[in-house]
A and B are shown apart, each in its own frame.
Chain A
Amino acid sequence: MMRRILQLGLAAAALVTGLGAQDRDLARRLDQARGLSGIQGLPSADQVSIGNRTIAAGALVKGPVVVARGALEVVGEIDGDAVVLDGDLYIRSGGLVRGQAVALGGKVELDGGRVDGEIRSLVTAADIAAAAAERTQRTRIQKGAVLAASLVLLLLLGIATTLIAQPALDGVATELERDFGRALLVGFLAELALTPVLGLAVVGLALTIVGILLIPFAIVAYALAVAGLVTLGVLGVARLIGAALGGDSARRLSASGASLRAVVIGAAVLMVPWGLMLAGGAVWPAGEWLLGIAAAGVSWVAATAGFGATLLSRVGMRPVRASASREVPVDQYAWATPTPVTGVAAARRPVATSGAAR
């Protein structure tokens, strides 16, 4: 029993000591705020709001308003000074501070509001570094979200395209497989021609007078068409990559299933450079831009080659050309070698085969 009482007493003493230290720290910060701002009418430590506080829209509060260890958001009006100790001060649209706006250990952000007096802030280098690190982290999370959203979008488009327009996807993938370099070159040239073609289309419509009204629609339709072609091309590249990496297990699937599987794998692979950029940036921030350039390069090659393949395959609708199934000349009678008297095992008569099929 005595031991328990002793423990409780020690805990209470520690609490009181801790609170006393906090009060002393707050009083010290108030003194610093007086020195920083020259405001003499600041309240004592026990009249300071601890934690976040908002002056709501339409509210009128007599100043000075002092907040410690939290943010002060002003949407209403403070008739006097606003002071924040170890936190940020936001003056939002419609907010008004008739005196000074002071942040000690934080920033003052004028977000559409008004301050009649001086705006003053003092932050330590550590605070600045911490804020910069927080911003970097936030940016990285945002980039990660954009990357995840892009992957999901690409997967959804891949699934939809496989289900709805698999022949087109197959055609683009076949064109890429046949000659990737040619597809890349054609895609690059087509990218160069995009703007002139649009310009010609606009001029053509303008010349017809009546067509002038159609120009905005034509521009939108053109942009959508190009976006669609590029997307189909990228999915074609994804399918090609996925098929190459898919292994033998795809053989057990139906044609649609194998195609879908390949698109999913390929889309994920196409996002890998961007994921590496984010992961690499976390470890080596200075190299993030370098990895970003590499990722952008990979994506550009994929998009350009895919675009080119889409055009070459006429959106995947072009039939397989003769060149792809060029007949290999065979000696019609080669199979019919002179038969020795003892006889030979029967051989199958050769048939003409395509180069692509070999």
Chain B
Amino acid sequence: MASRASARLGRGGATVIALAGALAISERAGAQDWQMLEARRPARDTQPVHVALAYGVGTLRLEPADSGTLYDVRLRYDADRLVPTVEWQAGTRTLRVRTRLDGLRLPASGRTDLTLGLTARAPLDLDVQLGAVEAELDLTGLRVRSLDFASGASRATVRFDTAARQPLERLSLQVGAGTLRVLGLAQAQARRIDASGGVGEIVLDFAGSWTGDVEVDLALAIGQARLVVPPDVGVRVEAEARWLNRLDLPGFERDGDAWVSPGYASARRTMRVALTSVLGTLAIERR
């Protein structure tokens, strides 16, 4: 009798604790404190600026800032879940923008939005790391000297709508499970591109006026890459002959260990693609 009573008491206590826990969690999950953080700094000179952006979840828009502004950060976030950092290190001329989850929290019901405006007057070295982000990086008009882009499960678009005022000396792209589209890549005047994909998709659209030859170093696990290249550019693809890879190269001819587009030898501009892949797919579109 006593044991049954204690068992009932134990079940009741567990129920109370579980209910209390559920209430605490639901209260925590429901608690939101949406805030808007704005930080901007006037541009006083044209010295190079390094930007380190690490952004977990939400939407991102990177764009040219107003003239006279070095950077303009606008972040809408839930202060109950996210801890943002926006700091300017004058010595190294580095802008760090970071968001960090504050402990273990359920996803916010609202949307975190980050808009980052950058100066068009100074050369920029961009280091962008994204988690699960819907991103639009409009680099048109910016003087981007280098871009290191890494994303987990993001869907991102990088665009160069007009010819860059500064050649993109370094372009490194790493995509995990998401999608990355780079548009107007010829406008960026990048000579060498390093791109790697996990299970995601990479689209490199080389639209725009070409000013020189391009080398693309492509590493794919089981993802796919699509390169859009103008018809007048000669393309040479050097791929390891693994039968699990898939190459979609319409009209290309075998040249030793490589595949070349018709008229490659006489083309005024050329692109060389070095592919390392396990189960990946490479497709080249001509338009």
Contact = CB atoms under 8 A, between A and B. Distances in A.
B41 A125 contact: no
A137 B38 CA distance: 25
B42 A123 contact: no
A116 interface: yes
B33 A124 contact: yes
Contact of A119 (B34, B41, B76, B87): B41
Contacts of B42: 114-116
Given A38-B87, A118-B88, A125 B39 contact: no
A117 interface: yes
Interface in A113-160: 114-125, 128
Nearest to A117: B41
A311 B35 CA distance: 60
A122 B35 contact: yes
A120 B39 contact: yes
B40 A128 contact: no
Chain A binding surface, main DSSP class? strand
Contact of A118 (B33, B36, B41): B41
B18 interface: no
A122 B41 contact: no
Given A115-B42, A118-B41, A125 B88 contact: no
B149 to A, nearest CB: 26
Given A115-B42, A116-B42, A122 B37 contact: yes
Interface string B24-53: 000000000111111111101000000000
Nearest to B38: A121
Contacts of A115: 42
B33 A120 contact: no
B34 A118 contact: no
Contacts of B87: 38
Given A38-B87, A118-B88, A125 B38 contact: no
6 closest A-B pairs by beta carbon, nearest first, are A125-B34, A120-B39, A118-B41, A121-B38, A122-B37, A119-B40
Interface of A: 36, 38, 108, 114-125, 128
25 contacts: A38-B87, A108-B38, A115-B42, A116-B42, A116-B44, A117-B41, A118-B39, A118-B88, A119-B39, A119-B41, A120-B37, A120-B38, A120-B39, A120-B40, A120-B86, A121-B39, A122-B36, A122-B37, A123-B35, A123-B36, A124-B36, A125-B33, A125-B34, A125-B35, A128-B36
